[in-house]
Amino acid sequence: MKRLEDIKRIAIIGAGVMGSGIAQLAAQAGYETVLYDLTRELAANGLKLIAQNLDGAIERKRMTPEGKQEILSRLKATNEFSELVADVVIEAIVERLETKSELFSKLALLIDDDEAIFCSNTSSIPITKLAHGIPHPERIVGMHFFNPAHLMKLVEVVSGTATSPANAQLVYDLSEKLGKEPVMTKDAPGFIVNRIGKMYHTESLKALEEKAAAAETVDALLESCGFKMGPFKLIDLIGLDTNLSVTKSLYEQFHFEPRFAPSHIQQQLVDSGFLGKKSGRGFYQY
């Protein structure tokens, strides 16, 4: 059984906003870190995002240039699947059950170490479903970060029916070493935060569809009530495509309950390529 001190190398799959943020955390915590994506360009873009985050920390006097270089020296960007041999692998890819399950099956063939931990950053798919049919399902643990991963403190640590308590505790301890505040949650669609928080998005989108108020008005009203960020600003930050994928997943997991129904307005924006901050336009222009 792996212990926290046995973890030397962490691999992150998916070099988007979330994956790059997780990779940054691992490198900051002193781990040899591999950031993987399907192409060299995508993987390199993930490193650029990390460098930008670190530059921001330097500007705020929270890091030195030397500290930045030390962190970057622990990071490797790659599109070579064979580089993913590690003590802990964290996937942060598209929110699709079949795609994630296929990835874990490939990892099980690649990594000989039966005690290597496979973590999923899924925000909606039950871990029990992800682990089904995967060799040694006891090592598959939900490790749900929140966007932006390098800043948000919470991590939901989720056990499927086959997850061993020792492995769940190891991921909990690792989350703390990454500077997070982990919480153990039971396996269910959306876990805790997204199951409840999704209503913040879906009800706001319904208000927009019903022309009850403009996106800017909804955001202003909710921020004035104490929310740190209005729902439409938050969706733009997360990415309209990512947010929509989670909504569709929850809608399916909850047997198409109307309260989780995806918004046709959001679908139209995604179809038009308006994905939020990362594309320069979503509900707002950037």
Q: Are 50 and 141 in the same domain?
A: yes
Would you say residue 284 lies in a domain? no
How high is the pLDDT of residue 61?
A: 94
Would you say residue 142 lies in a domain? yes
Q: Answer yes or no: is pLDDT of 98 > 90.
A: yes
- Given 53, 101, 124, 144, the catalytic residue: 144
Q: Catalytic: 123?
A: yes
Question: What distance in Å separates the CA atoms of residue 277 and residue 283, rounded to the nearest whole number?
Answer: 9
Q: Are 201 and 88 in the same domain?
A: no
Would you say residue 282 lies in a domain? no
User: Per residue in 157-180, pLDDT tens?
Assistant: 999 999 999 999 999 999 999 999
Would you say residue 27 lies in a domain? yes
Q: Are 75 and 93 in the same domain?
A: yes
Would you say residue 48 lies in a domain? yes
User: Are 253 and 189 in contact, with CB atoms under 8 Å apart?
Assistant: yes
Domain count for the chain, please give it. 2
Residue 165: which domain range?
4-185
Q: Which two tokens stand for residue 65?
A: 């240039």
Q: Are 70 and 130 in the same domain?
A: yes
Quickly state the pLDDT bin for 64 (edges 50, 70, 90): very high
Q: What angle do CA 95, 189, 266 make, to 5 degrees?
A: 50
- Given 123, 159, 175, 263, the catalytic residue: 123
User: Per residue in 216-233, pLDDT tens?
Assistant: 999 999 999 999 999 999
Quickly state the pLDDT bin for 138 (edges 50, 70, 90): very high
Quickly state the pLDDT bin for 1 (edges 50, 70, 90): confident
Q: Are 45 and 172 in the same domain?
A: yes
pTM: 0.92
Q: Are 229 and 138 in the same domain?
A: no
**Across the chain, what does the average pLDDT equal?**
97
Q: Catalytic: 144?
A: yes
